[in-house]
Homo-oligomer: A and B are copies of this chain.
């Protein structure tokens, strides 16, 4: 339940997507690592808050208590701490497991791929952070998914906002998770959840509302740096200073136009400590719509400077920043688009079918196909002793093989092969 077999057409499209992502990760000098799908249960416990109940646990069959990994970030942090690695740029593409009741119709499953790129190490501020955003920009552009927007914020700015609005620190995280709903519900509903469920005062909620509905660019950062209350808060000031630096770097990268500093972005996970970001595709319903509609997040990430320290016996921290590409959502978008356009993915790459026009020529086919394979040519033949030529050509059309190499008695005598273009039906002897 909640999983699926991936037939050739799915796998071919997914492999193409993954290849594009890997190409980008390698372009940025990342090395690949791989960790087991099994983790000790205790490694995963206390890292995912309430979501921990979605972790798949293995039966106790003697030995260690195990679970299936829930994401790739916690195993990465464990890997760094265990091996005392303080400096690495790595990517990891693998499946993770969540005992969820996901909307399988929208391409969400209990088993799904994550594509993570992370930079660990003590570096000058915002340089690796900016690179993560550049990567998101490159991948979404490469995949030609249409217009998109990358929202950025900083946990320190949010915490600063909460502080100057008079929220007690114990309510920061739960307020964050309410704020995070602003992309799905209007401010009025978010406000009433804050006051009703989270127990904030109406005045505090209104003060928060003034901030978290802001979004913009460098101008907004400058304005908030001048904000009489916020500029007095140390954390917020730090966050805003770094945000300004980030926009400088993004301008040098030529991508600031796609970035929106958005104070409503909060992100669910507890472990973020600095900049956070999320990319959304924009759907132009038609040319007359003024505001483009978001069709959901396709990438996200942020800075988590405390996670590795949780696995180190001495609590030594390794600052990390990373991004995860939402390949499954991108897959469903592309799949639907192909369905709509009637485009078909070829599931094989065969270049030529070795065929014979009449009986008793199996030996000739076997010899020829073997020569082609040895020359690195992708070739197939039908597994029949005496297949009809029509059937062989039909197989080419069905599977998209562009060429047929035909050997009959005459060709054998002349020492040639008849090469036929399946679409145009043109033939050359060679």
Interface residues of A (CB under 8 A from B): 1, 3-8, 10-12, 14-15, 26-38, 56-61, 63-64, 79, 82-83, 88, 90, 95, 97, 99, 111, 119, 121, 123-124, 127-128, 130-131, 134, 138, 249, 252-254, 347-350, 362-363, 366-367, 370, 373-374, 376-380, 383-385
Cross-chain contact A379 with B27 (CB below 8 angstroms): yes
Q: How many copies does the complex hold?
A: 2
- The answer to whether A6 and B31 touch (CB under 8 A), given A58-B57, A138-B373, is no
Query: Please, which residues of chain B bring their CB within 8 A of the CB of A385?
Result: 124, 127
In the complex the two chains form, is A27's CB within 8 Å of B123's CB? no
| Contact yes or no, A350 B124, CB < 8 A | no
B-chain residues with CB within 8 Å of residue A33 when the two chains form the complex: 5-8, 11
Given known contacts A111-B37, A252-B363, A5 and B384 CB-to-CB distance under 8 angstroms:
no
Q: Please, which residues of chain B bring their CB within 8 A of the CB of A5? A: 33-36, 79, 82-83
The answer to whether A31 and B56 touch across the interface, beta carbons within 8 angstroms, is no
Q: Are B31 and A11 in contact (CB under 8 A)?
A: yes
Can you name 20 extra interface pairs (CB under 8 A) apart from A5-B36, A6-B35, A27-B378?
Answer: A3-B36, A4-B36, A5-B34, A5-B35, A5-B79, A6-B34, A7-B33, A8-B31, A10-B34, A28-B379, A29-B349, A31-B347, A31-B348, A36-B111, A124-B383, A124-B385, A128-B383, A134-B370, A252-B363, A252-B367
8 A–B contacts, CB within 8 A, in A order:
A26-B348, A26-B349, A56-B58, A57-B61, A123-B384, A127-B362, A127-B383, A130-B366
What's the Cα separation between A367 and B249 when bound, in Å?
9
Given contacts A31-B8, A83-B7, A253-B370, contact A95 B380 (CB under 8 A): no
